[in-house]
Amino acid sequence: MPVDADRPRRAAGIESALIDDQAVLFVESSGVVHELSPAATLVWSMLDGQSSPEEIAEEIARELTASTVDLAPQVRQVISHFRSVGLVLTP
Amino acid sequence: MAIGPYSLLDRQIVVETNSERFATSLERVLTDLRSEERPGNPTTFLVRRKQGPTADSSRWEVWRDGVACETMLRDHYVADYVLWELTRLLLESCEPLLPIHAAAVSSRGQGVILAGGTHAGKSTLSAWLTVNGWGFLTDEVALVGSDGKHGHLVHPFWRPIGVRPGSPIEAFLEVPQTADSLLVPASRLGALSHEVPLRAIVLVSYSPTAEPLITREPRPAAIRKLAEHLPTLRAGGSKTFRRLVELAREIPAYSMTVNDLRSAGTQLDDLVKSNLGGNNAC
């Protein structure tokens, strides 16, 4: 399936556990464990390959009842970090 | 000549050597792993000294069940190497137990795992605690299993403790150190502990300047940090990861900065006492 850079999708082979509102991810190929912050966990939970960073930001803003705040730059930053450590597919 | 058998969980080990001196030395070092059971089908290590053309050019060869493992070892390193092979054997065969690169001790029937990187002071701290009345489980590989009655259990691996020159543990040894490290059976320092319920995991770091401090570690961070001490995580994949998560959900984890063994011992004593009172908070 082609990767849409504007609709980020999780990489395969990642086991996740949610504990105390934080996701902990295990990358099977490398054996590395990542601990996500609560905010990054929200972003991670919405990476479905269907939503753009802007849509994810709007969804998070609604959940946080902060709909007037533009969270898109932060969401893009988090996704960029995910991409840099191989958690998100790169086009 | 053959020495042993030694026991690693369900495995029996015999060491054969052509050096009487090495046999005597290794028997003394491995005394806590000695098994009284007759070996059925043991793993056999052959440690052979081969004399070179000159008096000081001897070399050693180590074979495991007929397969060459290592050669050209220095005299003082042979026992360390055999011990490393035994540890590797344990890691290969410890399933379904979860091995953690950590020391473990017990007090009042409660097990505490002390995890940390190289030179974090795990061995020294576990040796110190053993001298001061704690039960010794291991200074290298803590084996965690579970049963329905007790929850998580930590099992012993009574390999000898590696004591480095200058270690505070030297004061408790009657034999002066002559090599880079001295392998000391824990039973020479105090009591050995059998398996006990696991009550706490402590992530140990050494800092000569920091105040000794023990703090509760958030569970997500505990998983990430403990993952660094799981030698079978990559090979075991998601199954091992899920066991790690389960462990962190059920067993409280702490971080402890150590700069003074006495203070560290006091803090760990307090931790065990608070657990006995049913209070996991620190």
Judge: B245–A17 Cβ closer than 8 Å, yes or no. yes
pLDDT attached to residue B280:
42
Collect all residues of chain A within an 8 Å Cβ-Cβ radius of residue B218. 20, 22
DSSP string, A30-83: TTEEEE--HHHHHHHHT-BSS--HHHHHHHHHHHTT-TTS--HHHHHHHHHHHH
Question: Rounded mean pLDDT of chain A?
Answer: 89
Q: What is the ipTM of this complex?
A: 0.88
Q: Quick check: B257 and B227 in contact, CB under 8 A?
A: no
Q: Quick check: B131 and B169 in contact, CB under 8 A?
A: yes
Higher pLDDT, residue A85 or A6:
A85
Pick among A19, A29, A34 to test the B interface (most B CBs inside 10 A): A19
Judge: A20–B220 Cβ closer than 8 Å, yes or no. yes
The answer to whether B234 faces chain A, any CB pair under 8 Å, is yes
pLDDT tens track for B44-70: 999 999 887 776 778 899 999 999 998
Model confidence, pTM: 0.90
What mean pLDDT do residues B171-185 have? 67
The answer to whether B21 faces chain A, any CB pair under 8 Å, is no
- The single residue listed with the structure tokens 């971080």 is B255
Tell me which residues of chain A, numbers 30 to 69, contact chain B at a CB-CB cutoff of 8 Å.
30-36
A66: Cα separation from own chain's centroid: 19
Statement: residue A62 has pLDDT above 60: yes
- Cα separation of B271 and B266, whole Å? 9
Q: Measure CB to CB from residue A20 to each of B218, B234, B241 and give the nearest one.
A: B218
Q: Quick check: B45 and B85 in contact, CB under 8 A?
A: yes
Residue in B closest to A18 by C-alpha: B220
pLDDT attached to residue B279:
43
What mean pLDDT do residues A50-76 have? 85
What mean pLDDT do residues B214-221 have? 96
What mean pLDDT do residues B16-43 have? 90
pLDDT attached to residue A67:
63
